[in-house]
Structure formats: structure tokens, C-alpha cells
Copies of this chain bind each other. A is one copy, B any other.
Amino acid sequence: MSAKKTEFNDLNAYWLVGFVDGEGCFSVSFNRKPSMVLGIEARPSFSVSQKSHSYEVLESIQNYLGCGGIRFSKSDGTYKFEVRSLAQLRANVLPFFLTYRLLTNKRHDFEKFEEVCDLIAGGQHLNVAGLSKIVELAYAMNGSGKRKYSKEELLKFFNKLKL
């Protein structure tokens, strides 16, 4: 194991940004949560998935960024490194990708993701206009996978609260 650990010390910032350009995912999911002002919770998440034989790379990324957790995803049989905490996203993940810029089109996802995190940090998810903006940004991102709700369903759900 020690040989492997030594190799993983080679992980550097540019390797990580390249890896995330290839495999990483910035997404914002939405859940109904009656305790929230608008009944909807917006959850930003940064994740990277790998099959079990590359599990140690995920640990290495976790150590490197100093945050996040690793869990097994039954749906596709992969392990997923994930950061969901808004505080950790803003303290560790966003600054990293603002310093080491993504080179693929994923950069545009990151920019929207960053804006969503800022809006939530500023409490904008608690008013209709702010949450609408978050929904628009989230649904304009690629790689968000399957959605529980369509954008229209979501917007309709909390917009009707205005009436």
C-alpha cells in the first residue's frame, strides 16, 4: 500500500482540474421540504465517481480538498466522492476551481454552480425571485442527470405560493 500512497502524492492541482474536466460533476438538485419557506430545498453538490478499483484516487481527492465524503452508489455500482456542505463548497471547492480553471465546457457549469452557491449563501433561496433564478441556473447546467421534477413543475410549485 505504501507504494500506492507515494504515487498519490503526485496528485497535484492540474491533475485534479483535468480529472474533474473529464469526470467531475457540478449539480444542483431540488427536494420538497415542508419546513423550508418555499417548501423546496436547493442542494448544490460537487462529485466525482469511480469504479471500486480506483477508490483510492477518491480518497486522495478528499484529502487534497480537505472536505467531502465518499459513498457507494447502488444505482451504478460506483463510488462517489461528494461535497454537499455549502460551507465546505464555498471554503474549499469554489476557491480551488477559481484558481485552477476548468478547460472544457464544464467551466460554464462551474460558473452557474458558483452563482447558485452565492445566491444560497445570501439567503436568496428563501424568496421566489431568488429561488426561480437558482432553478433556472441549475437546469441550464449539463450533467445533472435525472431530475425528480421538471423545471416547470418546480417553478409552478413555489410560484403559486405568491398568490
**Which of B10, B13, B18 touches A19 (beta carbons < 8 Å)?**
B18
* A63 beta carbon closer than 8 Å to chain B: no
Question: How many copies of this chain are found per oligomer?
Answer: 2
Q: Which residues of B contact A21 (CB under 8 A)?
A: 15, 18-19, 22-23, 57
**Which segment, of A26-34, A46-54, A125-133, A155-163, faces chain B?**
A46-54
CB atoms of B53 and A103 under 8 A apart: no
A6-23, CB < 8 A from B:
7-8, 10-23
Q: Which residues of B contact A53 (CB under 8 A)?
A: 105
Q: Which residues of B contact A60 (CB under 8 A)?
A: 103
Q: In the docked arrangement, what's the CA distance between A100 and B99, Å?
A: 22
| 22 A/B residue pairs, CB under 8 Å, sorted by A | A10-B103, A11-B103, A12-B14, A15-B17, A15-B18, A15-B21, A16-B18, A17-B18, A18-B20, A18-B21, A18-B22, A19-B19, A19-B21, A19-B22, A20-B22, A21-B23, A22-B22, A50-B105, A54-B104, A54-B105, A54-B106, A60-B103
